[in-house]
């Protein structure tokens, strides 16, 4: 029945003279997303993005296209040659299918893309509505004849478009994630742990058109390789939305040992966090990243108090994006479930943060005290060594 998908975008429509740049990027991203399920013709006509499909693949294609950042909705539609009488016949055909699916009330909505057509959009709706109502009333089965028009709260809206090149008829719209096309807003380095928060934070920033790379900190062999595999799996899930992700694996065991030996125990978590930020920034600069991304939320753990966040900010120069900063945990979990990272994130594996976790971590650290503690360490050499011994791999879905 359906032979085309309409990929609808939101913010791109207000980009003015630069809109074509975002549209072209969105088309490329849709094509890339669909590569894993088959060959599809993706193209643009007068501010609309279309994907040619058929009955065998349109449902699979919808599920993939809705994941592309920038797409707010995907409509399976029937496209036919430009003919008004054919438009009315197609509307009746689709309405019959929707009635058979259990819908009992309907409404006709029309759009006149061809402004030279003699009927206005409202006049088209009245005319097509009368045509389809007459058509279903002429049928013998009660399920058709009992169907009624309801312009305020219909079970189904049949949208009919009379455009310059063709006609379109559709009724359904599958919601997308919205945002902006990936690759239109620079690149950032995300600090990716094995928990719930950082994958969600990474996804949210990527949704704004930002390309991401990731850095993961581990303490092998004090933590096992399964914790690293868990992070690789999270990166793989994210790559479905974000494209291939370069994952930098950094062992900070020597840093944590040095902190444990020479610094106050209650400061160990926040000191480790400051080292992670330094390392992430240095790797990010080498990879042409313009910002860092973290999964911090105010007050969630001891190192994420206002004072703790200020102390970690103090060691970096580039911006730090914290999209979860004011979100409740239940909302973060909801997003994690929606994007498919939650089940992997809750797999119990030890991470580097828990390894040297103090019994009573400082919750209101003072910057001057942290800097005094760090003066006991060879900060520059520890950072340099960790980066030199790091590895990088490409993760893709």
C-alpha distances (whole Å) from 284 to each of 201, 277, 350 are: 17, 10, 26
Q: Are strands 71-81 and 174-175 parallel, antiparallel or unpaired?
A: antiparallel
- 44: which strand partners? 49
* Dist. CA 386–CA 249, nearest whole Å: 10
* Dist. CA 300–CA 328, nearest whole Å: 9
pLDDT at 207 over 80: yes
pLDDT at 91 over 90: yes
Binding site members: 191-192, 216-217, 273, 295, 304
Least confident range from 99-103, 116-120, 253-257, 299-303: namely 299-303
Span 12-71, pLDDT tens digits: 887 888 888 999 999 999 999 999 899 999 999 877 899 999 999 999 999 999 999 999
Least confident range from 198-212, 296-310, 376-390: namely 296-310
Which residue in this structure is represented by tokens 């919808």?
A: 62
- Give the SS3 label for residue 145: helix
pLDDT at 356 over 80: no
CB atoms within 10 A of CB 273: 23
* Dist. CA 386–CA 145, nearest whole Å: 74
Rounded average pLDDT over 217-231: 90
Closest-CA residue to 202 (of 312, 345, 31): 345
CATH class belonging to 4-175: alpha beta
Confidence of residue 223 (pLDDT cuts 50, 70, 90): confident
Span 265-320, pLDDT tens digits: 999 999 999 999 999 999 999 999 999 999 999 988 878 899 999 999 999 999 99
Contact 250, 387 (CB under 8 A): yes
Write the burial class of residue 312 (CB in 10 Å: 0-12 exposed, 13-18 middle, 19+ buried).
buried
* Dist. CA 34–CA 41, nearest whole Å: 10
* CA 10 to the chain's CA centroid: 14
- In the DSSP assignment, the letter for residue 18 is G
In the CATH hierarchy, which fold is given to the domain comprising 187-395? Rossmann fold (3.40.50)
Binding site members for ATP: 191-192, 216-217, 273, 295, 304
Burial 65-99 (b: 16+ CB within 10 A, else e): bbbbbbbbbbbbbbbbeeebeebbbbbbebbbebb
The DSSP-derived string for 52-82 is E--TTTHHHHHHHHTTSTTEEEEEEEEEEES
pLDDT at 96 over 90: yes
Closest-CA residue to 62 (of 2, 16, 146): 2
Average pLDDT, the chain: 94
Which residue in this structure is represented by tokens 């599809």?
A: 40
pLDDT at 354 over 90: no
Contact 133, 149 (CB under 8 A): yes
* Dist. CA 377–CA 215, nearest whole Å: 23
User: CB under 8 Å to 330, separation ≥6 — which residues?
Assistant: none
Give the residue extent of every domain in the chain.
4-175, 187-395
* CA 82 to the chain's CA centroid: 36
* Dist. CA 202–CA 191, nearest whole Å: 8
Give the HSE-up count for residue 89: Cα atoms under 13 Å, Cβ half-sphere: 8
At 101, list the tokens: 């699916």
Contact 180, 70 (CB under 8 A): yes
Query: What is the reported pLDDT for 360?
Result: 85
pLDDT at 352 over 70: no
At 44, list the tokens: 């643009």
Confidence of residue 397 (pLDDT cuts 50, 70, 90): confident
* Dist. CA 193–CA 300, nearest whole Å: 15
Query: What is the reported pLDDT for 353?
Result: 65
What is the reported pTM? 0.91
Could you tell me what percent of the chain has a pLDDT over 70?
Answer: 98
pLDDT at 222 over 90: no
Rounded average pLDDT over 202-231: 94
pLDDT at 358 over 80: no
pLDDT at 227 over 80: yes
pLDDT at 239 over 70: yes
Could you tell me what percent of the chain has a pLDDT over 90?
Answer: 87
- In the DSSP assignment, the letter for residue 12 is G
- 249: which strand partners? 216, 391
Query: What is the reported pLDDT for 355?
Result: 61
Query: What is the reported pLDDT for 17?
Result: 84
pLDDT at 357 over 80: no
């Amino acid at each position: 029945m359906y032979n085309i998908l309409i990929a609808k975008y939101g913010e791109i429509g207000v980009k003015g003279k630069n809109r074509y740049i975002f549209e072209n990027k969105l088309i490329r991203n849709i094509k890339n997303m669909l590569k894993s399920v088959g060959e599809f013709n993706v193209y643009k006509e007068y501010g609309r993005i279309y994907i040619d499909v058929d009955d065998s693949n349109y449902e699979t294609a919808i599920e993939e296209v809705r994941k592309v950042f920038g797409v707010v909705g995907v409509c399976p539609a029937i496209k036919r040659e430009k003919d008004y009488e054919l438009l009315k016949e197609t509307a009746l055909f689709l309405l019959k299918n929707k009635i058979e699916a259990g819908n009992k009330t309907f409404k006709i909505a029309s759009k006149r893309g061809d402004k030279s057509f003699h009927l206005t959009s409202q006049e088209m709706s009245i005319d097509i509505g009368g045509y389809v109502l007459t058509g279903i009333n002429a049928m013998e089965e009660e399920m058709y004849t009992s169907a009624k028009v309801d312009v305020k709260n219909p079970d189904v809206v049949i949208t009919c478009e009379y455009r310059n090149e063709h006609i379109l008829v559709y009724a359904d719209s599958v919601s997308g994630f919205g945002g902006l096309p990936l690759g239109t807003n620079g690149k950032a380095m995300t600090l990716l742990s094995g928990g719930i928060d950082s994958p969600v934070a990474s996804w949210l920033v990527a949704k704004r058109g930002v390309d991401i790379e990731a850095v993961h900190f581990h303490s092998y062999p004090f933590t096992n390789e399964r914790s690293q595999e868990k992070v690789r799996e999270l990166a793989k899930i994210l790559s479905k939305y974000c494209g291939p992700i370069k994952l930098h694996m950094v062992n900070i065991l020597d840093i944590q040992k040095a902190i444990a030996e020479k610094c106050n125990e209650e400061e160990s978590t926040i000191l480790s966090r400051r080292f992670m930020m330094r390392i992430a920034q240095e790797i990010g600069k080498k990879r042409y990243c313009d910002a860092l991304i973290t999964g911090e939320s105010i007050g969630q753990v001891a190192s994420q108090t206002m004072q703790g966040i200020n102390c970690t900010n103090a060691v970096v120069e580039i911006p730090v994006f914290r999209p979860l900063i004011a979100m409740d945990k239940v909302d973060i979990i909801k997003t994690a479930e929606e994007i498919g990272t939650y089940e992997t994130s809750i797999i119990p594996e030890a991470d580097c943060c828990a390894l040297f976790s103090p019994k009573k971590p400082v919750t209101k650290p003072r910057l001057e005290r942290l800097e005094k503690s760090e003066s006991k360490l060879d900060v520059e050499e520890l950072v340099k060594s960790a980066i030199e011994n790091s590895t990088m791999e490409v993760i893709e879905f």
